[in-house]
Chain A
Amino acid sequence: MSDSQAIAQGTHPEGSGAHVEHPPYLRHHFNSVEQQADTAGFAMWLFLLTEVMFFGGLFTAYLIYRNWYYASFVAASHQLSIVLGTCNTVVLIFSSFTMAMGVWCAETRRKKGLVVSLLLTIALGLVFLGIKTVEYREKYEKHHIPGDHYSLQSFINPASDKEASEAGDKPLALDAAQHTELYFSLYFAMTGMHALHMIIGIGILVFMVIRAQAGAYTSGHVTFVENFGLYWHFVDIVWIYLFALLYLISRHA
């Protein structure tokens, strides 16, 4: 009911005939700038909720299979590089910082700062994807991409494999070794969906840089930058969970 009253206070005095000056970005169906910004923010949070449900399906699958095939998941997780994963985590957290800087610059109407922050965010996003490509390439070379060419070598004969022998893995029985394919199925589905969100995000960032240079977000209308910031932080948080679940937990079974 409080939001209803807010609308009442901002009622358009159209009935009285006078057309009040309002900023050009106020869309016709809103009564006030506050209502418009409030609405867009609420919509963004709801959208992020749908994203939570989207990734939730994957996390559920991960949870179930991790419980079923614990040994396989532990052995398979040794194949991931903690160093690269940590680098990527740092890169992403830093990109969230530059994004937050961007939002602050937009709010305080610093056009140059905004453009620089957005460009930095793009750069860090690309670094993340670059490191991810290196990791994917390693998996490709070791035939750890699920499908017809999947190789069980690293898990049946860990001595032959650098990462597995470093972690001190014991050889897995054939069926347990086969279940590592499930770990990599989820690894690629989860990190792939995350990377897709990064790519979409970078696309929108490029669009925002172009608009920002034309001075779009530094004249008081910062809703778009703010809401994109929420999206970017969300994608960041998803990675934090992925990093913990896929790379970190139970490395020492």
Chain B
Amino acid sequence: MSDTIVELPDQATARIPKVNYITKENGLLSWLLTGDHKRIAILYLISITFFFFVGGALAGLIRLELLTPQSDLMASDTYNKVFTMHGVVMVFLFLVPSVPATLGNFFIPMMIGAKDLALPRINLLSWYLYVVGGILVLITMVTGGVDTGWTFTTPLSIHYVNTNVLTTGLAIFVAGFSSIFTGLNFIVTTHKMRAPGMTWFRLPLFVWANYAASILMVLGTPVLAITIVLVALERTIGIGVFDPTKGGDPLLFQHLFWFYSHPAVYIMILPGMGVISEVISTFSRKRVFGYTAVAFSSVAIAVFGFFVWAHHMFIMGVSNYAVLVFSLLTMLVAVPSAIKIFNWAFTLYKGSITFETPMLYAFGFMGLFTIGGLTGVFLGATGTDIHLTETYFIVAHFHFVMVGGMLMAFLAGIHFWWPKMTGRMYPEKVSQLAAVVTFIGFNFTFFPQFILGILGMPRRYAAYPAEFQILNVFSTAGATILGVGYMLPILYLIWSLKYGAIAGDNPWQATGLEWQCQSPPLTENFTVQPIMDHEAYDYEWLEGQKQKEEEVASVG
């Protein structure tokens, strides 16, 4: 058994193909006016990385403040603004677009054998909307920030704060349309642009996962948009839809807000699960176990995801019957998530597993997402929820799913497809180190927060009782390690753009259509319209292809 599956071309003779999507046209305008899904993905990648580091810097400030029990690094209202901006930036400008807008944009058309997404100009528009939303958030930050928390809970956000609710609301509204258009584009593309022979059940699971997330984007985001419009109208002209003094119900805001924002967490995690399916299969050389179950579990998560939103409001005064029903439905979502985890585990069983960086991140995902998901069941159970809600347990649960799950999946995907996107390999050893450092740092940061939550430390306060300090120091120290873990990929990935080994078409011996063309790909992806004549993850087919090529080479 070899310890790697990487097959690189002979470095002495290998060259990056002269014509590819990067070299096709030159100049800034050719990027800013492009219709090429791959270029738009790169634009997205650069912009979301920027906002990730903005949000990360804010997280660093939060952890620094919490190093000591007193509110000493910043005033408590500054702290409120910092954690709000951290949430807004990370949720709306990083997590929601992360995998779909970068990897999805780049690879969905290639995976289904199309030349581009169905609506290239809408795709570019959605990037511009994202940038406008991002700039509005930056303006908000520079002009004083907003301190409502990323949930904009009424009546706080309409009556009691004088901070920039309107610009942030506008930013989220605009960024929301970016996400709607991305989702719409993916759904239309998956329906109408598939290559001949690419039936629904031959689609890579990454496409299924993004398709399910797109349904959520398309159906959920408009509800958030109208909710923000209503909040803005309350602040400006004083309509009373959420205003209790006028007979309005602030809880209605939460219903509408969570009707989007709960499915939004599935928008964030589903594409990540798609990445994990690809990575696990490739690095264990096996078809994903229970392909159909994994595909349908994505859709099931999307469907169930729409009917659990009130579990964010168990202590907010919703009726006991609603609590009962939403508690049950919440636990039901755990079923399709568990189906995925079990199927990945069975894929590993008797597979020829190798431990390249994407696989390490995928293992990190599986462990941390399982913890994050199971603690979600604690919170879905009404009894424990009453004790744990609004404590650090929530913070830890959310970060286990979003950072431990989603961000790990994002990094797995970036490493996995980096050779295809750039034509060059990342340095393997240092990136394996980064994956391990991230995992350790992550656990140090967020595991103590579960304990803090159980002990009763409330979230969203700058100061806390002195007995919580030790665990907070742990958490802050862990955040430092985590920060290093995230800086490393930036450095070596940029380094690899010039000095990385030439990757060749298919360094991982993966089966997806995106691996059967040159790296970096041509602008039109394929020279000949591909015809899908085998199932997804068919490694025997790949062997056959290789043998055919060798025969041709030896005969020729």
Q: Does B249 lie within 8 Å of A64, measured CB to CB?
A: yes
Q: Does B290 belong to the interface (CB within 8 Å)? A: no
Q: Does A181 lie within 8 Å of B256, measured CB to CB?
A: no
Q: Does A168 belong to the interface (CB within 8 Å)? A: no
Q: Does B239 lie within 8 Å of A147, measured CB to CB?
A: yes
Chain A facing B: main interface SS: helix
Q: How far is the CB of A117 from chain B (nearest CB, A)?
A: 26
Q: Does B246 lie within 8 Å of A8, measured CB to CB?
A: no
Q: Does B529 lie within 8 Å of A11, measured CB to CB?
A: yes
Of the residues A4, A14, A64, A193, contact of B529 by C-beta under 8 Å: A14
Q: Does A43 lie within 8 Å of B241, measured CB to CB?
A: no
Q: Does A49 lie within 8 Å of B219, measured CB to CB?
A: yes
B contact residues around A178 at 8 Å (CB): 246-247
Of the residues A39, A40, A49, contact of B193 by C-beta under 8 Å: A39
Q: How far is the CB of A47 from chain B (nearest CB, A)?
A: 6
Q: Does A21 belong to the interface (CB within 8 Å)? A: no
A contact residues around B191 at 8 Å (CB): 3, 42
Known: A57-B226, A58-B226. A43 touches B118 (CB 8 A): yes
Q: Does B529 lie within 8 Å of A38, measured CB to CB?
A: no
Q: Does A3 lie within 8 Å of B194, measured CB to CB?
A: yes
Taken together as a complex, chains A and B put the C-alpha atoms of A61 and B223 apart, in Å, by: 12
B contact residues around A97 at 8 Å (CB): none
| 9-residue interface stretch from A100-108, A182-190, A199-207, A230-238 | A182-190
Q: How far is the CB of A136 from chain B (nearest CB, A)?
A: 12
A contact residues around B200 at 8 Å (CB): 1
| 9-residue interface stretch from B41-49, B136-144, B180-188, B459-467 | B180-188
Q: Does A35 belong to the interface (CB within 8 Å)? A: yes
Q: Does A28 lie within 8 Å of B524, measured CB to CB?
A: yes
A contact residues around B239 at 8 Å (CB): 146-147, 184-186, 188-189
Which residues of chain B in 194-217 are interfacial with respect to chain A, using CB atoms and an 8 Å cutoff? 194-200
B contact residues around A42 at 8 Å (CB): 188, 191-192
Q: Does A56 lie within 8 Å of B196, measured CB to CB?
A: no
Taken together as a complex, chains A and B put the C-alpha atoms of A47 and B188 apart, in Å, by: 11
Q: Does A55 lie within 8 Å of B247, measured CB to CB?
A: no
B contact residues around A188 at 8 Å (CB): 233, 237, 239
The winner among A50, A148, A184 for most chain B CB atoms within 10 A is A50
Of the residues B114, B229, B247, B527, contact of A29 by C-beta under 8 Å: B114
Q: Does A54 lie within 8 Å of B222, measured CB to CB?
A: yes
Of the residues A14, A28, A50, A185, contact of B240 by C-beta under 8 Å: A185
Q: Does B487 belong to the interface (CB within 8 Å)? A: no
Q: Does A3 lie within 8 Å of B192, measured CB to CB?
A: yes
Of the residues B193, B223, B249, contact of A56 by C-beta under 8 Å: B223
Q: Does A4 lie within 8 Å of B247, measured CB to CB?
A: no
Q: Does B529 lie within 8 Å of A28, measured CB to CB?
A: no
Taken together as a complex, chains A and B put the C-alpha atoms of A58 and B225 apart, in Å, by: 11
Interface 1/0 per residue, B309-320 and A, CB below 8 Å: 000000000000
Q: Does B184 lie within 8 Å of A29, measured CB to CB?
A: no
Taken together as a complex, chains A and B put the C-alpha atoms of A31 and B192 apart, in Å, by: 11
Interface 1/0 per residue, B355-373 and A, CB below 8 Å: 0000000000000000000
Taken together as a complex, chains A and B put the C-alpha atoms of A185 and B240 apart, in Å, by: 6
A residues contacting the other copy or chain, number (CB 8 A): 53
* Closest Cβ neighbor of A61 among chain B residues: B241
Which residues of chain A in 30-48 are interfacial with respect to chain B, using CB atoms and an 8 Å cutoff? 31, 35, 38-40, 42-43, 46-47
Q: Does B254 belong to the interface (CB within 8 Å)? A: no
Taken together as a complex, chains A and B put the C-alpha atoms of A4 and B527 apart, in Å, by: 19
Known: A14-B528, A57-B256. A43 touches B184 (CB 8 A): yes
Q: Does A146 lie within 8 Å of B237, measured CB to CB?
A: yes
Q: Does B219 lie within 8 Å of A193, measured CB to CB?
A: no
Interface 1/0 per residue, B117-129 and A, CB below 8 Å: 1111010000000
Q: Does B184 lie within 8 Å of A47, measured CB to CB?
A: yes
Of the residues B220, B225, B246, B527, contact of A185 by C-beta under 8 Å: B246
Taken together as a complex, chains A and B put the C-alpha atoms of A181 and B117 apart, in Å, by: 47
Q: How far is the CB of B181 from chain A (nearest CB, A)?
A: 9
Taken together as a complex, chains A and B put the C-alpha atoms of A64 and B252 apart, in Å, by: 9
* Closest Cβ neighbor of A180 among chain B residues: B247
Q: Does A135 belong to the interface (CB within 8 Å)? A: no
A contact residues around B120 at 8 Å (CB): 27, 29
Taken together as a complex, chains A and B put the C-alpha atoms of A228 and B206 apart, in Å, by: 33
B contact residues around A3 at 8 Å (CB): 191-192, 194
Q: Does B241 lie within 8 Å of A54, measured CB to CB?
A: no
Q: How far is the CB of A226 from chain B (nearest CB, A)?
A: 16
Q: How far is the CB of B232 from chain A (nearest CB, A)?
A: 10
The winner among A7, A27, A175 for most chain B CB atoms within 10 A is A7
Known: A1-B200, A147-B237, A181-B240. A43 touches B223 (CB 8 A): no
Q: Does A49 lie within 8 Å of B528, measured CB to CB?
A: no
* Closest Cβ neighbor of B37 among chain A residues: A29
Q: Does A39 lie within 8 Å of B233, measured CB to CB?
A: no
The winner among A11, A185, A188 for most chain B CB atoms within 10 A is A185
Q: Does B264 belong to the interface (CB within 8 Å)? A: no
Q: Does B252 lie within 8 Å of A39, measured CB to CB?
A: no
Q: Does B116 belong to the interface (CB within 8 Å)? A: yes
Q: How far is the CB of B305 from chain A (nearest CB, A)?
A: 15
Which 4 A-B residue pairs are closest in the complex by CB-CB distance? Answer: A147-B238, A185-B239, A8-B196, A29-B116
Q: Can you list 22 A-B pairs with a CB-CB distance of less than 8 A?
A: A4-B199, A7-B194, A12-B529, A14-B528, A15-B528, A29-B193, A39-B188, A43-B185, A46-B218, A53-B222, A54-B225, A55-B226, A57-B227, A58-B226, A60-B256, A64-B249, A147-B238, A181-B240, A185-B233, A185-B240, A188-B233, A189-B230
**Known pairs A39-B188, A43-B122, A147-B238. 7 more at Cβ < 8 A?**
A1-B200, A4-B195, A7-B196, A29-B114, A29-B117, A51-B222, A189-B233
> B: which residues have CB within 8 A of A?
114-120, 122, 180, 184-185, 187-188, 191-200, 218-223, 225-227, 229-230, 233, 237-241, 246-249, 252, 256, 259, 524, 527-529, 531
